[in-house]
Amino acid sequence: MNFQQLRSIREAARCGFNLTEVANVLFTSQPGVSRQIRELEEELGVDIFIRNGKRLIGLTDPGKGILKIVERLLQEAENLRQASQEYSGETSGTLTVAATHTQARYALPRVVQGFRASFPDVRIALQQSSPEHIADWVISGKADVGIATEGLTQFKELISFPCYEWSHVLVVPENHPLLEISGPISLEDLAAYPLITYDVGFTGRGHIDAAFSKAGITPDIVLTAMDSDVIQQYVSLGLGVGLVASMATEHSRQNGLRSISVSHLLASNVTRLAVRRGAYLRSYTYDFILQFAPQLKREDIVEALQAEPHGAGSNGVHKVDFEPRILKIA
């Protein structure tokens, strides 16, 4: 039994049993992957995969149990590698952070700047994608840390920490009729104009949809995007009014836009930072997390990483309640 065999099993499951993709991931040949899998099955005396001819089409019942063990062994091997670097006194390395565009553009710059001052020999690889892909990258080990507002609590393989709370704001061009409304704006007021906001699954879009649905109002959403800057650009062109994250409006006035508070209409959002459950974190990774969410404590993070999940789909942490510590951003 060797690690290449274990990696072949894990990647076969991750790649939907497509051995060509597995070979690309492992930088080897398809026959080589097939041989590694076959040799491990022969050594264990059990079929791990269901086959249709030479094609893999699924996991056998024993294979499902074996896959969990394989994933745990490979994670512990990675933890061992990280620990050896830590104990040998190495302060260099690469910290891979996966985040949505909004977090990377507006929440992370000061944190990255402070982190680089503390750890000048650590390179930061910043990856941007959807919350679903961010979770996949952290679970697979392609990213050390994931940051997003939605989706990270849905995976039992992850531990996520609430970092800060924020609200959406409405952005409109200068001299827009909505600026003339005295008193709080209503959902009916918003629905009277074409709306531009985030794609489904991004940056609190779920709270926007929920508010209109609860009120029985169907907004005219004419354009969606992942990027706050893109949304505001199209608002400035007069295509509609925009709902964006509050931290994304720092330079709105320079673009001829005005912001209107809608915190009374839409539920607040919580940005979360996630790491893989059971992962060994380098000291500089802890430092990064604490710079991003200074209300957290290192011992709480350690306890959360070692705690068992409450159940499938649960991201709760035994004995640690982080929610009261969430920072609030207007």
pLDDT at 253: 72
> What are the tens digits of pLDDT across the range 2-22?
888 998 998 899 899 999 999
Say whether pLDDT at 179 is over 60: yes
The pTM of the whole model exceeds 0.85: no
pLDDT at 234: 95
Say whether pLDDT at 321 is over 60: no
Least confident of 38-47, 64-73, 248-257: 248-257
CATH number for domain 91-164+271-328, candidates 3.40.50.300, 3.40.47.10, 3.40.190.10, 3.30.1490.20 = 3.40.190.10
- In whole angstroms, what is the distance from residue 263 CA to residue 171 CA? 13
Residues near 40 by beta carbon (within 8 Å), at least 6 away in sequence: 1, 5, 6, 8, 9, 48
> What are the tens digits of pLDDT across the range 26-42?
889 989 999 999 999 99
Domain topology for 168-261: D-Maltodextrin-Binding Protein; domain 2 (3.40.190)
* Contact by Cβ (8 Å): 154, 172: no
Q: Pick from 208, 108, 95: which is nearest to 148 by CA?
A: 108
The CATH classification number of 3-85 equals 1.10.10.10
Give the CA distances from residue 244 to residues 88, 102, 186, 254, 282, in Å, rounded to whole numbers and listed in that order.
46, 10, 17, 16, 35
Least confident of 85-94, 129-138, 317-326: 317-326
pLDDT at 292: 95
pLDDT at 135: 93
Beta strands in 174-266 (DSSP E): 195-198, 221-225, 241-245, 257-261
- Domains of the chain by residue range: 3-85, 91-164+271-328, 168-261
Q: Is 3-85's fold the same as 168-261's?
A: no
Amino acid letter at 322? F
* Contact by Cβ (8 Å): 213, 166: no
Per 3-state DSSP, the chain is made up of helix, strand and coil in percentages (nearest 5) of 45, 20, 35
Q: Pick from 252, 248, 249, 250: which is nearest to 271 by CA?
A: 248
